[in-house]
Structure 1
Amino acid sequence: MNIFVPLIEQMKAQIASKDPWFSLEFFPPKTMEGAYDLFQRMKILAQGQPLFCDVTWHPSNQPGNMEKPTSSMCVASTMLNYLNIQTMLHVTCCHQPKQNIKEHLITAKKQGIRNILALRGDSLPGQEWNPKDNDLTHAKDFVKFIKDEHEDHFVIAVAGYPVGHPECPSYEDDLRYLKEKVDAGADFVISQLFFDVKTFINFVADCRKFKITCPIIPGILPIQSYDSLRHISKLAKLEVPKNIVDTIQPIKDNDEAIRNFGIFQAVEMCRALLNSDHAPGLHFYTLNRDYATNSILKQLGLLTADIQRTLPWKPSANYARMDEEIRPIFWNLRPQSYIYRTSNWDNFPNGRWGNSSLASFGNLTDYYMFYLNQPPKTELLKMWGTRLEEEQDVWNVFKLYITGETNENGIKVSMIPWHDDALSPETSLIAKELASLNSQGVLTINSQPAINGLPSSDPVFGWGNPNGYVYQKAYLEFFVSKEKAEILNKILLKYPQVNYNIVNSQGDINYSNCDETQPIAVTWGVFPGQEILQPTVVDPIAFNIWKQEAFDLWKTNWGNLYPPKSESQNIINYFHDNYLLVNLVDNEFTKPTCLWTITAKMLAGEKN
């Protein structure tokens, strides 16, 4: 069972262990295409295990705009709930009535967000701010408001200015204001960017003299271009040191040279900070780019290797789902869809999967998460075919996805509609068999090999606590023609150790030998001192919910790429209307699976 630990407690534990860590900042994109690019970069950087990531506040955020995919709230929610990253949301009180801020905090709480960077914010150019008597006019008032409204639900960060806020009468006055923000309830401080290590070290020392004892995290901005440096330093009203200006002036038109210098300069500064004992971690202003920050983290040795999985699937970072231990295997490769469809659940399975007829799965709609892993239409057509002429063209797409080979356009098929993520490493063990099936019209969308008691530390199959053992039954899920499905249904009568479900899109063909209300464990683990865990199951009721999604993806994510009633769209629609969805579970996990024999007989046309 996972136990929720507030971000500030995680931070203090890292500080006590003297293990350096990092966090990342992003800003909301302006377009859907920008959102897609942003989430790809987030996924790349998140592989390094940041302590948290945060999303800046856009002035256009209003209560009625929170559902827009490009809003700060939506980006933060996506980061937390679908990318499984500990998330912090910036919120500013400038130009906002108190009621708006109240609604923002309530929405953040509903989304599972537990961390807020409370800022006053700045007026937009040409817009004068005339706050009313009950408005929040300073960050310290905002911090107190959060505490009054939500007590300790939110971990609160505030901004610190190593050379003083540009609007403050003096550096000492700004330190007093920072002290007031912390006394009002802020848990830690993130500094504004700076270019000299001594500036930050002196700032921390001065903060301690003012009895500001909470963690203070340095904000690092890698220099990535001449124009961006000028723009950001102007916004922050910071003077760039002369030695940096002298270095980049001769190369200002060479972006690659400036980026390489920026990486070098940031690495040197970060090393000095970490060696100074004044910086327990590093907060990077990424500017929504991954190359520079990734390079810096690699040189600093802060990119954590893949840690031991706690479950076969990645648990959500949302505190409301911390006890979740079991999921149906059908959504194994579409975890974001599963999270979306179960987002309104009050309780999540812990220990055993119950009767899913009592569970209310949300409907599959054209929700904003579809763009998360959906490249532009032009890229998808290059992968899946600009023109489809026969069924075999579709079979080939599935085969190439398994083999990793390029298609006739020289493009790798890096995804198919039924997979949110890349193929898991364990698929390589059965890739030859899967590729053969797909080339013959057995279109596989989910599978796993049988495993009999491997150590829980195994690099491919391992999960859970140390000194345990993990098991799994061979599982195979695929689309196949009606004719082959009918043959398969008869062959399966000879294999009582195999559980199966076979269904068409309309639901009027439905073959199964499973108990309708009894789930079947397909993955489980045995660990010292605790009950057996069964984190993935095959459940007939949940399968009939999944099957509707699985069939709909033919049309929504593939068929809609083509003109209505075109030859290509008609071919995709044919698969939706005439192929059946099958899942097979071989319960004899101690022997080589019989599933390859069964499917070979099906393809050979055996009927008796």
Structure 2
Amino acid sequence: MKLSEKIASYTSSRPFYTFEFFPPRTDQGFENLVPRITRMAGLNPLAVSVTWGAGGSTKDRSLELAGIVQREHCVDTILHLTCTNMEKGLVDEALRAAKDRGIQNILALRGDPPRGEEDWIATDDRFTNGKNLVSYIRSTPEFASDFAIGVAAYPDGHPESSLTEEEEIANLKDKVDSGADFIITQLFYDVDGFLRWLQKVRDAGITVPVIPGIMPIQTYASFQRLIKLCGSRVPPSIMAELEPISNDDQRVKNYGVSLAVSMLRKLSASGIKGFHFCTLNLEKSIQRVLETLKWTGPSTLEQNKLIVDSELTVSPHNATGSAKMHLMNLPEVEGEAGKGELNNAATWDDFPNGRFGDFKSPAYGDQGPWGGLLISRNEALIQWGRPKSVQDLTKLFVDHLHGRRASTPFSRGPLIPESQMILPQLERLNEREWWTVGSQPAVDGIDSGDPVIGWGPRSGYVFQKGFVEFFCETKDVDELEKRLDIHGKGWVHLIASNYKGEIRTNIPEGARNAVTWGVFPGQEIVQSTIIEQASFLNWKEEAFAIWSEWSSFYRPGSEERKLLENIRDTRWLVSIVHHDYKKADALWQFLFDGQ
């Protein structure tokens, strides 16, 4: 059924809601998302939306997932469709495929620029923005009456737009006048700001349903990336409440639930009748929010006593609250890999989207709007300059270690305190032209409340195996393999891969290395960070794509582009784990002794 018709006929006193999912990167993640959607369908969403990668990069999986939701679960589905890299033939193909699967709802979007491009450039002049896509569907007899069409809106302003709020609202009205039936907004935290914006939308003569986008905060790191990328307005009261608990993953997640509940109560009291939840393929927080609001019946999660922490209840004056899509499985800053996805299917949501998360998780590998460098060409030139030699690159990485550069393409911010603990070792690696992109020190039972190493619930202990990840030359990989035979003594695991996809490793097939784990009261041992071949190879694709994207900031044929493309083509990404976590210097002895 069309969403516009369902909204028009909706009579319940409870607000309606929709859920958004993305196609997982791995087959195992896809298989495990389907039962998760089955469970969440039991929460009675009015519809489920499925995202669409730029230029149809997730086309097959998006259509497959949308078809499963629509036909097998009998939940009305909204298929996202973007203009990025899309020509008329691809648009027609996608719309026909949606019709064949019984899908009657399309979210028409311009989409983000293709990876590696600073600016959005149309592939087909007929599809330069969301309005064009709406107009095309409505004017094409084959599709005109088959779909309810939604469009996007940005209460905090589009992050790439230089238009005034009034001009953006005028563009939104053009999309509606072209045939859009409903609006789904970008995620936000400033409720008062949203309500002011909505009134301006109504004053402009836009009468179709406006569905606010909501996403509970999952982790402090993801929240920080979110607000930087979106340019979201976050009330100072929210930041003041988050900062003291930023090192406690569970309390941040609980706060995210409490904040979402408070925002939704204020929005619904202001007359908003429906909401769109960006799930990031996670279910616990969404379910906790809905159960707290009593918008749905009891569930297995309620039976498991997943109750919002009473000491983190958000007061009404703090519900002025904004939010954006992954967290993705991003390359974190050095030392942040200890905040991973759990390997136990029952607890996948507890610490979502770690660098080396479980590839079987439905949330594994989410790039979302956070994929890529997330930086303009001008910003990249300011931060990373114009490297023309290997020595220039080495200086960039070393400068970052010492705080002389705020970031590298592989580390989005300054070196974090955990990595400061192994700064001399990281400096030594980088100075030998082994450029580090991930690492953590060995830890033998530190209090889970430790402000640098701690994570998870309090009253526990956390452990870490030392690991390091870096780019190096083929000859270096040869030398490391020799050292494994002589000095590894079974304690060291190595996996390396290059741009061509060649793999060199001594890790047994199917082995899964838990490199971070915690022991907490009343729980089984929690393994929060896992390194194994499937997740490493997925990250490897992302890592070499960063070299490609970085090179695209420089003109073809330039020294900078030639250098970066050569590095991409010739270097190896290497990950080394030393399993003796009781010896703080074990990994470094392996790497440096005798050299």
TM-score, length of structure 2 as denominator length: 0.49
TM-score, normalised to structure 1's length? 0.48
In terms of Rg, which structure is larger? 1
